[in-house]
Chain A
Amino acid sequence: MKKKRSVSRHAVNWFVHIFLALLAIIWVFPIFWVILTSFRAEKGSYISTFFPKSYTTANYVKLFTDTQVLNFPRMFMNTLIVAIFTCIISTFFILSIAYCMSRLRFRLRKPFMNVAMVLTMFPGFMSMIAVYFILKAVGLSEGSMILVALVLVYSGGSGLTFYIAKGFFDTIPTSLDEAGYLDGCTRWNVFTKITIPLSKPIIVYTILQSFLAPWLDFIFAKVICRANADYYTVSIGLWKMLEKENIDNWYTCFAAGAVCVSIPIAILFIVIQRYYADGMAGAVKG
């Protein structure tokens, strides 16, 4: 009896592992495919074999040197600049609001939290066109001002996404704050000397999350840049490579670009996950 059961358990185990392996192949396949394509020597998107006939690194070289039609290095720099500024402003906004909502008590706190909840429910795309008109009216829609406009668009409304950081601040025991007040700290001292040092996971999470936004966004960048190719971010660039007039020349470069962009983002994402998990576990572990 016991032996029979262990045999069937063995069979189930085998089945489970084969099943998982199949799923893993399905999930990894497109990623594997793109890496293969980025080293493919044949041009164009039409292929007849799974594995490339010959391999080359020319796609990567072309991506970073051929700046005539699509200036990828420039797009990369644009995105990096926008990301750095977005990240500084957003982090400041999010942490400020989260701290006020979590620790300070004032009359408009509750109404603000409710309004924030409602505002986040509107589709972001709805206001997109309006944002463009507003930026145009204040003269931020032409020339290098486009980069400023992108920073403002990504960071401007970020104060609304304070919920995760607020949840974290809520887990820091108030007794620590009270100890601080007894020692003569002002609220500002408590915020900068007690709360912030204890909140490393959630600060790193917020920083990385807002740093990633400009790399991942496609729609706002497209609406705001319109035809100003000098200020494209990488996501528009990659999209352009797949358009009908470019795809024959740029398909393999698209794959190379996708790999170049994905590797740093993937690393950051995995780091974020760790800090997110730490953040969810609370601030001061008992």
Chain B
Amino acid sequence: MSRITLESKPSDGVRELLRHLLDKGKVSAVLAPRRLDDEGSLDLGFITDRSELDSIDPFAPVMIANTAQVLSMITPSSSKIAVVLKPCELRGFVERVKREQGTLDNILTISCTCGGVFPLQKAVDGITGGMTANYYSDLSSEKIHAEIRETCKACEHFIPINSDVTVSLVGEKDLDENCQIYLNSKSASELLEGLGGEIDKKEYDPAISAGLMKKRLAEKERLFNSVFPGKGGIDAVIEIFGKCVGCHGCSRVCPICYCVSCDFESMNFDSDIAYYEKELSQKGALRLPPDTMLFHIGRMIHMSFSCVGCGLCSDVCPADIPVASVFKRTGDKTASIFDYIPGRDLEEAIPVMVFKEEEFSRFVDE
């Protein structure tokens, strides 16, 4: 467990690190966010040729696709791959690995202390515009940037868990010529031997970003108290999800929802017209297509305890529903009854896959 200090911008430092890995043949490929043009188009580049590394923007404050989903497509790999990803994407992938949707073997994970990302819509409208101006200075001064997503503002897991390499951004002064790279695993130390820079024995100290943590936790409390109207109840649920158009984009981009065919899109929920006619005779009116609330509450039941709060569901929602905030709010509760933190530990089983003989007596009449 050691630290490398480079005298460069962190993004340059990481590019240098990736070049080192490719040049020395220590990895065969790199997966990282890549800029396509000046208009703000990005994608994830899966790169084997070092000359392609120039377009990489490792800490682009935008999430264009969930790297966790992409990792499922490229693992298990017989070649060593270095991946640059956000802490929540890494946690999302750990959850996927637990569901046998990929593996961390042969993967070197490089993450950063994350200042959050811009909403997708704002980002595609022009990430190179004025929006990023304060972003990096806010990182240094441990402020919550005003334009980042609601979910990011309330995220307390901005320090990567389980990453091989952590680049420290939050709370670091002078991000113009100071790149702090923490090596958290033995394989990271081996692979990065000979990178240069100043090396010392030091682990990441959460005190560096404690100021932001405090603000994030406060913001989280504020968000969770305000996102859900009143005392809740079915009317509140309808108020939030009433404008859902049923595209199910939220479940398709979700790193946890890995099912090829979702239960809620299956024939299980098809009904004869006679069924609707009967329901109509009882209620006088019903919504079509049906089961909008069933879909959202049902999805919460199926996956919320593993929700890593990556926020992509809110990003892709055409109706601007704060899906991520509502799901994370519930997910915090469902995970906490199992003392579970999604993505914390690969060895920690998914709560529904294990049990203890004596537990949860408050939920059962025994």
Q: Note whether A and B form a binding pair.
A: no
Q: Which residues of A contact B (CB under 8 A)?
A: none
Q: Which residues of B contact A (CB under 8 A)?
A: none
